[in-house]
Amino acid sequence: MVPIILALLAIAITVYFFVFNKRQPVLKKDEFQKFPLIQKTLLSHNSGIYRFALPHPDDVLGLPIGQHISIQAHINGKDVVRSYTPTSNDAHKGYFDLLIKSYPEGNISKHIAELNIGDSINVRGPKGFYEYVPNNYTHIGMVAGGTGITPMFQIIEAIANNPEDKTEVQLLYGNQTEADILLKPELDKIVKNHSNIKVHYLLDKPPVNWEGGVGYITPEILNEFLPTATAKTQLLLCGPPPMTNSVKKSAINLGFAKAKPVSKAGDQIFVF
Ligand SMILES: Cc1cc2nc3c(=O)[nH]c(=O)nc-3n(C[C@H](O)[C@H](O)[C@H](O)COP(=O)(O)OP(=O)(O)OC[C@H]3O[C@@H](n4cnc5c(N)ncnc54)[C@H](O)[C@@H]3O)c2cc1C
Ligand SMILES: *[C@@H]1O[C@H](CO)[C@@H](O)[C@H](O)[C@H]1NC(C)=O
Ligand SMILES: *[C@@H]1O[C@H](CO)[C@@H](O)[C@H](O)[C@H]1NC(C)=O
Ligand SMILES: CC(=O)N[C@H]1CO[C@H](CO)[C@@H](O)[C@@H]1O
Ligand SMILES: CC(=O)N[C@H]1CO[C@H](CO)[C@@H](O)[C@@H]1O
């Protein structure tokens, strides 16, 4: 009798947890849902981190590492949709963060910069072909420019938070000025604590006593910093097209497989 009661109790507890505590991923692929802005943190004159609430404090967005969402708004009589990569991942519950650079002439980025706390955005996803699998590659080289840091940061944070993940990461991150470097304190903190993650910053206009690199990402810099191309090395690119196109070309000379016009999961060179 006692074993049966215990078994019934176990089933009841399991059902309780599934029905009342297990939250489903919130994101829907083919339906725009509204999420309210709950916090705005300005990072520079033209960029900030925007935090949006999920319906319940235990909810997760449900975004695979390395993928992005679509944001839609009705602007000047037209439906405009743009892509954004949250800097938070599903280890964060109850909200998601977007790091957005606003362009004065930009449709969605300007729309978001003008939101007040409590205003909502329309979000759909996940989108994208990249799939991050821990330890699938021994080395990942990353080249980012400006807001192109967002997918890289998402992957770096996932590696840093997973003690089982031994992937060696080398990030080359180019910007115009020191003030333009997004997420620098967060990146520096991760680098300090994780010997497998390295970052080399490059600036067009460096301040005095700048210890990082200067100028564009050249073939020489790629040769010096990127991991050696082997079957277990991947190269991720995100930034202005002139930057990603020139890195794609140089990488072939370093032994990486030629990048496809549109990147697919498992490509050795993946452009976000
Ligand atoms: C997969 C993916 C992920 C992305 N993730 C992010 C992210 O996390 N954060 C983020 O801020 N952006 C991200 N972007 C870029 C974003 O999707 C928009 O392109 C950007 O916010 C501009 O959109 P907009 O509607 O404001 O401007 P638009 O209406 O598209 O453009 C208006 C004006 O802005 C200028 N402009 C637009 N984009 C750029 C640019 N990249 N560089 C210089 N000038 C530009 C145009 O020349 C034009 O004058 C991502 C893009 C992709 C494809
Ligand atoms: C984006 O904004 C510009 C002007 O700022 C406008 O010319 C353009 O048509 C807009 N794009 C869309 C898709 O509405
Ligand atoms: C894992 O790596 C192999 C190459 O070693 C590649 O063929 C495969 O597509 C990769 N998988 C993912 C999910 O990246
Ligand atoms: C040195 C370098 O790579 N500078 C880049 C800084 O970021 C801007 C915006 O993405 C790029 O256009 C520059 O090339
Ligand atoms: C790998 C490593 O150095 N991990 C350390 C990161 O920092 C925390 C405390 O902030 C330590 O507990 C870890 O050992």
Whether the per-residue pLDDT at 106 is higher than 90: the answer is yes
Q: CB of 202 within 8 A of CB of 216?
A: yes
Name the residue with the closest Cα to ligand 3, atom 1: 136
Domain coordinates in residue numbering, the chain: 33-127, 139-271
Could you report the per-residue pLDDT of 141-199, keeping only the tens digit for each?
A: 999 999 999 999 999 999 999 999 999 999 999 999 999 999 999 999 999 999 999 99
CATH class of 33-127: mainly beta
pLDDT, position 3: 76
Residue 101 marked in a binding site: yes
Ligand 4 centre distance from Cα of residue 87 (Å): 20
**Where are the extended beta strands (E) located within the chain?**
33-44, 47-53, 68-75, 78-84, 95-101, 120-127, 139-145, 168-175, 197-203, 213-214, 233-238, 269-271
pLDDT for the residue 12: 73
Q: Is the CB of 80 under 6 A from ligand 2?
A: yes
The CA-based dihedral angle spanning residues 241, 246, 249, 254, taken in that order and rounded to the nearest 10 degrees: -120
Which pLDDT belongs to residue 236? 98
Instruction: State pLDDT tens for residues 87-103.
Output: 998 889 999 999 999 99
Please list, residue by residue across 34-63, b when 16 or more beta carbons sit within 10 angstroms of its beta carbon and e when fewer do.
Answer: ebebeeeeebeebbbbbbbbbeeeebbbbb
Please tell me the predicted confidence (pLDDT) of residue 13: 67
Diameter of the chain measured on Cα atoms: 79
Residue 244 is labelled as binding a ligand: no
List pLDDT tens digits, range 52-99.
999 999 999 999 999 999 999 999 999 999 999 999 988 899 999 999
Residue 8's pLDDT band, with cuts at 50, 70 and 90, is confident
Q: Is 108 labeled as ligand-binding?
A: yes
Enzyme catalytic residues: 68, 84-85, 238
pLDDT at 20: 62
Q: How far is the CA of 30 from the centre of ligand 1 (A)?
A: 22
> How many angstroms separate the alpha carbon of residue 190 from the centre of ligand 4?
22
Token representation of residue 240: 């202005």
pLDDT at 1: 72
Which of the ligands is closest to the CA of residue 166?
5
> Has 82 been labeled as part of a binding site?
yes
257 lines ligand 3 (CB under 6 A): no
pLDDT tens for 10-41 read 777 666 666 666 678 999 999 999 999 999 99
Instruction: Work out which ligand 5 atom sits closest to the CA atom of 163.
Output: 1
* pTM: predicted TM-score of the whole model, two decimal places: 0.86
pLDDT higher at 7 or 101: 101
Fold of 139-271: Rossmann fold (3.40.50)
The pLDDT tens digits for 191-226 are: 999 999 999 999 999 999 999 999 999 999 999 999
Omega before 126 within 30 of 0, i.e. cis? yes
Say what the pLDDT of residue 45 is: 85
Residue 6: pLDDT band (50, 70, 90) is confident
CA–CA separation, 37 and 118 (whole Å)? 5
Give SS3 for 251: helix
